[in-house]
Homo-oligomer: A and B are copies of this chain.
Amino acid sequence: MKKRILILFAFSALISFSTFAQQALWGAPGIVSPEVKNDNTVTFRLLAPAAKEVRITGDWMPAQGWGHGSEAMTRDEKGVWSYTTPVLPSDLYSYSFIVDSLTTTDPNNVYLIRDVASVTNIFIVSGDKGDVYKVNEVPHGTVARRWYNSPGNAATRRITIYTPAGYESSKEKYPVLYLLHGMGGDEEAWIALGRTSQILDNLIAQGKAKPMIVVMPNGNVAQEAAPGESNLGFYKPTFQLPNTMDGKFEETFTDIIKFVESNYRVKAEKSGRAIAGLSMGGFHSLHISRYYPNMFDYVGLFSAAIISDPKVTSKVYENIDGTLNIQMKNGCKIYWIGIGKTDFLYKNVTDYRVKLDGMGMKYSYYESEGGHTWTNWRVYLTQFVPLLFK
Contact = CB atoms under 8 A, between A and B. Distances in A.
Contact of A307 (B13, B27, B305): B13
Interface residues of A, number: 108
A344 B14 CA distance: 9
* Chain A interface, >50% SS class: loop
B107 A2 contact: no
Nearest to A264: B168
Interface stretch (A49-57, A267-275, A333-341): A49-57
Nearest to A65: B20
A16 to B, nearest CB: 8
A228 B111 CA distance: 7
Given A49-B101, A66-B23, A123-B234, A5 B107 contact: no
A348 B105 contact: no
Nearest to A24: B66
12 contacts: A10-B306, A22-B240, A23-B66, A24-B66, A25-B239, A102-B107, A105-B119, A110-B228, A110-B237, A134-B231, A134-B233, A139-B156
Chain copies in the assembled complex? 2
A330 interface: no
B144 A13 contact: no
A271 to B, nearest CB: 26
A387 interface: no
A72 interface: no
Interface of A: 2-11, 13-14, 16-18, 20-27, 32, 46-52, 65-67, 99-105, 107-112, 114-119, 122-124, 134-137, 139-140, 142-147, 156, 158, 165, 168, 183-184, 225, 227-231, 233-234, 236-240, 263, 305-310, 313, 317-321, 344-345, 347-348, 351-352, 355, 372
